[in-house]
Structure 1
Amino acid sequence: MNLLWVLLRQRLRRDRVQLVLWIVGTGALALMATTAVTTTFGDLAEREGILRLTLVAPAILMFRGTPNGAEEGQFVFFLIFALMALLAGLMSTFLAVRHTRGDEEAGRAELVAATPASRMLPTTATVIHGVLANAVLGLAVGVAFVASGLETRGSFVAGAAIAACGVTFLSIGLVFAQLFRTSRAANAAGVAAVIAAYFVRGIGDAAGEPSDDGLHRTPLWISWLSPIGWGQRTGAFAENDLAPLVVAVISAVVFVALVYVFQSSRDSGASVLPGFRGRDHAGPILSSSFGLAWTLNTGAVVSWAIGAAVMGALATSLTPLVDQIGSDVPEVAVRLQQMAGPDATLEQALTTTFFSVIGILASACALQLIMRARQEEVHGTAETVLSTPVPRQRWLGEYGAIALLGVLVVLAVAMLGAFAGAQSADDPAGMSQDAAQAAIAQLPAVLVYLGVGMLLFVLVPRVMIGVAWAALTLGAFFGVFGELLGLPDWVRDLSPFAHSPLPIGDDIDWTGGVWMIAIGLVAISVAIVAMRRREVVTGG
């Protein structure tokens, strides 16, 4: 028991910054979302109108949740639960891989296994650590909801649902850490599983059966395949049914038991799945450090580009529904035009709103590609590259250039998707032009996040991943959804997305965009110059 406490304390100390950022950020998201809904949608009729919009455009449910009533708590749960569960899933899979496969790659696991702790006790400590982290996360969400004035039981049912989702993804992350030979592959599989669960839940919600009053929806059976779907079925602030969380607990127990079976039957550093054998001879693209970095990041760019293509197609293909939305749910039409500007048509407002989300995807792509440089550093492979005639500044600059190239690919693919979707509009040429302008308008904010990511990599490498994701999450929430949720101006102004040029009308104000481009370029330049004196930091 004493050894278990030592290992658990080591994990708590090692993760003290990352976990605080994840937990406080998610709790703050719950608090601000509730406050904004209370302020902006305080009228029951407004909330009912927005929920009935899902009858007209069920695709909205892909990014929200299951409507389960129009009371304040029910409406908040509909708006924000899926996003918070997504954050809990990412936090948990990263934690699971970091303390298992990550430690094996770094050689720490073998050193610990040589002590009386053996090989099994560290895994037990990681399981307990992850469960405690998710329990605190669920408690933070529940307290945030209660502090904002929502009903106590529903608040803590929502918190329990978040914690249960996180624990399930923790167990899935632990399984991936056993299956794959590298932490990079295990993390990629974990992120893919979380995103897949988010969209499987969304498909089940969108294809579900709506009630006659349009305020409730019974998800399709496919949502039972998603841990996020299990959490939604608690019906927090309505049914408050904890029974679906039993599925999450049972699944987590089964996955953890599978982890112990794998752990007892494989060698340290080995994996259940054999690694793919590489080519005997490298291709010409790997003859340079730039080509190596691009090869390592190709998969990530393709993944973000696919998501952007889908969003781009939705941005313009949904415009035939705009007239119906404007007549059936005028409150939503008003909110969309507030977000896009008074001179925007409803079609332009919808396109601009979707491309704001594409801007978030592009920023996430930029940050992930810079984080890859950090992963290469942690795994020791960066040292091998830097031992050749490749200066530190050039190495980081190449990752920055690849991140910018990846962003351009994501935005270009989104435009192509929008052009395809615009063919069903009344004015395909005009809609395509609006989409192109909206895509270009995302570049300034993306440059800011690219610069911030590179600065974090140089100045605080050990916490850069958690801090960068937290900054993007809060920036997206404040800037893209702040107007819709009625957040104060000073809060929205904290986000780069709030200052993106609005490509509406003949006069497009690029003042904020120019400033952000300047800030991003300065941050990138400072990071590259400062990299000259920065030592390689291999610790995770």
Structure 2
Amino acid sequence: MSDYTATRTLLKLALRRDRIQLAAWIYGTGALGYSAANSVGSTYPDAADRVDAVKTLTDTPALLLTRGAPVGTSEGAVAMVQIFTYLCVLAALMSTFAVVRHTRQNEETGRAELLGAAPVGRRAPLTAALLLALEANTGLFVMLAVVLPLAGLPLSGSLAAAAAAAATGLFFAAVAAITAQLSGTARGANSLAGAAVGAAFLIRGIADAGGEVRGGGTSVDSTALAWLSPIGWAQRVEPFGGDHWWVLIVPLVLAAACAVWAFRLNDGRDLGAGLLQDRPGPASAAPGLLSPLGLALRLHRGSLLGWGAGIAVLGAVIGGMGKSAGDALRDNADLSDTLGKIGGGGGDPVDTFFASMIVMVGAVTAGFAVQTLLRLRAEETSGRLEALLATAVSRGRWLVSHVTVAVAGSLLLLLIAGVSAGLTYGAAAGDLAGGLTDLTGAALAQAPAVLVLSGFVVLAFAAVPALSSGAAWGALTVCLVVGQLGGLLELPQAVRDISPFSHLPALPAADAKALPLLALTAVAALLTWAGSSLFARRDLTG
């Protein structure tokens, strides 16, 4: 029997399982690309408007960090500044989730062992997962190559942008193949792959922010640091700028090398085991582990520390950029209006900048809440929940313990972000008390929207457990797109209202309003209650 026996059968099975999830990723990403390309003409009706917008962008490193380096002032180039890095991130996440789902998750749930009882080659599951990622990214390439020209952009640049995004997805699919060998759990493999995506985005942002401005302020040549980021490689293709197709050799060759490495790691480990071994615990458990809440806190402790460190850095970066970003916005009303569409509010340029950045803090915190609550499904599928419920612990008490950690952890992350941003901005502006008060309050005001997403995850876990992971991350993606970019993409208000973030007051640029905060909190409580009630009545599933 060959190492690749039954690969085609496993690929068909994976396509059958993921037909809805992958379609949602591909069509959603295509819709985002179309909306961004289609909105350029109305937002910047003539060439002079585009030139002014790009020049302001190149004068503001804070915006280059989050948006990307412009390569010109054509409609296509401006559209790519708005959306291209996000297209690459979506392609990367789609690919990593798919590969982990059909490799490490199958081993964790026991499906791989069941399949192994049939004539299935040793390398067949990993090969099928990588081929699935190849087909998904091919579909994404076709989608973007169709919708971008339909939005009025040139075909050559559209093809380059579509190919660069798909190549990014393929590279991260290979990265996920490696993390699936390293970690013993799907959650750990996804966390490692997600950290790689986040690092790529951050490195690309630093390279763009420190780049050299060229063409009289209409383009930026990123520093050499961009070559250390897979998203930086895609950006070096310069769609609608240079269309440097040869750059795609880098992600494709390295993706192949990572895939070969993943196969070698796969060959050298036992089924179900990860190469990164867990540390042995103490001989006797601490008293706190005798309660469900203590156990939940112990399970999420490492994740909370990692997210806390990351969001503290993010808050400090946002606060440090406040003064310079405000100075740049005072000189450009169009850019100030653009940021107002992202974060809401208006008036003082510094407050407008912070309002748009605080939304990002809320999105990051929501990512922590989603990851934390998806541990509910991991505990169920691993069989640990069944053993736990065989004791005196009730379902409701167990569920509440994880929800409590997710909620308290989210509030702590928002507090850390607000304090770190307030300290750095207050020190630069000479108003430490004011900076702490305004930015900490603005960060904590994101909590109701985060809690709504948390309640949705609990409901999805109870109602559709098998689809809870895709539903949770898909909901977060939708909220980010329609909430943060809805105004910029001129989406209908009814669509933007889907995101709970759209209903928050744009602090510190706008006045605080209690009604939307209380209403969102009530919705979050209702969703959580509904999920808890459904979970109490349904059967446990593997």
TM-score, length basis structure 2: 0.93
Structure-to-structure mapping, 1:332-411, within 5 angstroms: 332-337=335-340, 344-411=347-414
Between 82-91 and 102-111, report the one with greater CA deviation: 102-111
Identify the residue that residue 253 of structure 1 maps to in structure 2: 256
- Partners of 1:133 and 1:367 lie apart in 2 by 24
Name the SS of the counterpart of 2:485 in structure 1.
helix
Percent sequence identity over aligned pairs? 36
Identify the residue that residue 203 of structure 1 maps to in structure 2: 206
Please list every run of 5 or more consecutive structure 2 residues that lacks an aligned counterpart in the other structure.
none
Which residue of the other structure, out of 480, 495, 498, is the alignment partner of 1:494?
A: 498
CA contact (8 A) 1:230 1:244 kept: yes
Identify the residue that residue 263 of structure 1 maps to in structure 2: 266
- For 1:203, give the aligned amino acid: I
Q: In the TM superposition, what is the alpha-carbon distance from 1:403 to its structure 2 partner?
A: 0.9
- Partners of 2:521 and 2:125 lie apart in 1 by 46
Structure-to-structure mapping, 1:46-125, within 5 angstroms: 46-125=49-128
Correspondence 1:526 to 2:530:
yes
Q: Structure 1's 301 and 503: CA in aligned 2 closer, same or farther, altered over 3 A? A: same
Name the SS of the counterpart of 2:367 in structure 1.
helix
Identify the residue that residue 453 of structure 2 maps to in structure 1: 449
Identify the residue that residue 244 of structure 1 maps to in structure 2: 247
- Partners of 2:370 and 2:349 lie apart in 1 by 32
- Partners of 1:130 and 1:322 lie apart in 2 by 39
- Partners of 2:328 and 2:384 lie apart in 1 by 53
Q: Structure 1's 340 and 129: CA in aligned 2 closer, same or farther, altered over 3 A? A: closer
- Partners of 2:252 and 2:340 lie apart in 1 by 44
CA contact (8 A) 1:177 1:183 kept: yes
Identify the residue that residue 12 of structure 1 maps to in structure 2: 15
CA contact (8 A) 2:141 2:162 kept: yes
Which residue of the other structure, out of 461, 476, 480, is the alignment partner of 2:480?
A: 476
Q: Structure 1's 533 and 84: CA in aligned 2 closer, same or farther, altered over 3 A? A: same
Deviations 1:122-180 (A, max 9, x none): 22222211111111122222222122121112112111111111111111111122223
Identify the residue that residue 514 of structure 1 maps to in structure 2: 518
Name the SS of the counterpart of 2:283 in structure 1.
coil
Please list every run of 5 or more consecutive structure 1 residues that lacks an aligned counterpart in the other structure.
none
- Partners of 2:151 and 2:209 lie apart in 1 by 29
Deviations 1:239-279 (A, max 9, x none): 21211111111111111112222233333233334443232
- For 1:378, give the aligned amino acid: T
CA contact (8 A) 1:337 1:345 kept: no
After superposition, the CA RMSD in angstroms is 2.2
- Partners of 1:486 and 1:428 lie apart in 2 by 37
Correspondence 1:438 to 2:448:
no
CA contact (8 A) 1:17 1:463 kept: no
Identify the residue that residue 463 of structure 2 maps to in structure 1: 459
Name the SS of the counterpart of 1:483 in structure 2.
coil
Name the SS of the counterpart of 2:6 in structure 1.
helix
Between 377-386 and 428-437, report the one with greater CA deviation: 428-437
- Partners of 2:26 and 2:166 lie apart in 1 by 11
Name the SS of the counterpart of 1:444 in structure 2.
helix
Which residue of the other structure, out of 158, 166, 169, is the alignment partner of 1:166?
A: 169
Correspondence 1:276 to 2:279:
yes
CA contact (8 A) 2:62 2:321 kept: no
Q: In the TM superposition, what is the alpha-carbon distance from 1:315 to its structure 2 partner?
A: 3.7
- Partners of 1:265 and 1:360 lie apart in 2 by 39
Between 67-76 and 36-45, report the one with greater CA deviation: 36-45
Q: In the TM superposition, what is the alpha-carbon distance from 1:384 to its structure 2 partner?
A: 2.0
Q: Structure 1's 483 and 279: CA in aligned 2 closer, same or farther, altered over 3 A? A: same
Between 291-300 and 301-310, report the one with greater CA deviation: 301-310
CA contact (8 A) 2:346 2:510 kept: no
Q: In the TM superposition, what is the alpha-carbon distance from 1:485 to its structure 2 partner?
A: 3.8
Deviations 1:350-369 (A, max 9, x none): 22221121111222221111
Aligned residues: 538
CA contact (8 A) 1:106 1:379 kept: yes
TM-score, length basis structure 1: 0.94
Deviations 1:291-336 (A, max 9, x none): 1111111222233323332333344332322453134322112334
Structure-to-structure mapping, 1:121-160, within 5 angstroms: 121-160=124-163
Structure-to-structure mapping, 1:294-309, within 5 angstroms: 294-309=297-312
Deviations 1:427-447 (A, max 9, x none): 433333221331232122122
Identify the residue that residue 45 of structure 1 maps to in structure 2: 48
Q: Structure 1's 477 and 276: CA in aligned 2 closer, same or farther, altered over 3 A? A: same
CA contact (8 A) 2:340 2:356 kept: no
- Partners of 1:137 and 1:30 lie apart in 2 by 11
- For 2:419, give the aligned amino acid: L
Deviations 1:190-222 (A, max 9, x none): 111111111111122122222141111112112
Correspondence 1:536 to 2:533:
no
- For 1:431, give the aligned amino acid: G
CA contact (8 A) 2:344 2:356 kept: no
- Partners of 1:186 and 1:323 lie apart in 2 by 40
Q: In the TM superposition, what is the alpha-carbon distance from 1:383 to its structure 2 partner?
A: 1.8
- Partners of 1:54 and 1:262 lie apart in 2 by 44
CA contact (8 A) 1:180 1:275 kept: no
Q: In the TM superposition, what is the alpha-carbon distance from 1:42 to its structure 2 partner?
A: 3.0
- Partners of 1:333 and 1:219 lie apart in 2 by 24
Correspondence 1:224 to 2:239:
no
- Partners of 2:188 and 2:499 lie apart in 1 by 32
- Partners of 1:451 and 1:208 lie apart in 2 by 42
Name the SS of the counterpart of 1:210 in structure 2.
strand
CA contact (8 A) 1:36 1:487 kept: no
Correspondence 1:311 to 2:320:
no
Between 323-332 and 139-148, report the one with greater CA deviation: 323-332
Q: In the TM superposition, what is the alpha-carbon distance from 1:492 to its structure 2 partner?
A: 2.1
Structure-to-structure mapping, 1:164-203, within 5 angstroms: 164-203=167-206
Identify the residue that residue 332 of structure 2 maps to in structure 1: 329
CA contact (8 A) 2:5 2:121 kept: no
Q: Structure 1's 507 and 202: CA in aligned 2 closer, same or farther, altered over 3 A? A: closer
